[in-house]
Amino acid sequence: MTRIMLSEFIKIKRKLILFLVVLGPLGVVGLQAVNFGLRYDWLTSQYKEDLWGGLIGEVTMLSVPTILIGLTILTSMIANIEHQTNAWKQLLSLPVSKMKVFAGKALLSFVLLFMACLLLVVGTIILGISLKFGANIPILYLLKMCFFPFLAAMPFLALQTWLAISMKNQAIPLTTGILGTIVSMYATGFPDWMPLKWPWLVNEWEKPIYSVLLGIVTGLGINLLSLIDFSRRDVK
């Protein structure tokens, strides 16, 4: 797996994938910088009891759809490296199991999105300090609100990875991901069992960790089924 991961990182070295990883969190923080810059007095009066909490809440509102559309594009771009060059047969002729090849793609997507969330944490801290919100940064809360939606979105990462790898025509995976992102923006009123609601960390128990656990368990289940399907598939 170490060799597979190193190989995957070499493949994306000259692609726009790493740029996208930086662009996502940079875009979220940049939009919030504009938001607070234009409405500073009003927003700070709204969040005067907890300026950092208000900023983090505003960032989260943008980060959830960004994560969903970001994982859609990332998984498609990663899988398309082999699709464009018709390299699947060559890749699978190597002395590496199909499951490890698929797992490498899935793990690469996970690592890149994890890096994006980490950049979002750093960017939010820089923005808050720039806005003079003080040095009393709620680090634990910030980490939760940046990483919990990502972990709760694991079913979509697993599904999009499977769709992107299984289909040479990337229009279907991209359309599925875009539609899912649009629907998710109205998902807070959905029943708690709906996966599209989980990244928003809203549930009747008012426990965000429940949404995260549901996302992780479901995501692992979908990923396992995807591994089995890919190992049995005759890839062309």
Helix (H) or strand (E) holding 88: helix 88-92
pLDDT digits (tens, 9 = 90+) for 18-76: 999 999 999 999 999 999 999 999 999 999 999 999 999 999 999 999 999 999 999 99
* pTM score of the predicted model: 0.92
Cα separation, 108 vs 164, whole angstroms: 14
pLDDT digits (tens, 9 = 90+) for 96-133: 788 888 899 999 999 999 999 999 999 999 999 999 99
The domain ranges of the chain are: 2-232
Question: Most distant CA pair in the chain: distance in Å?
Answer: 62
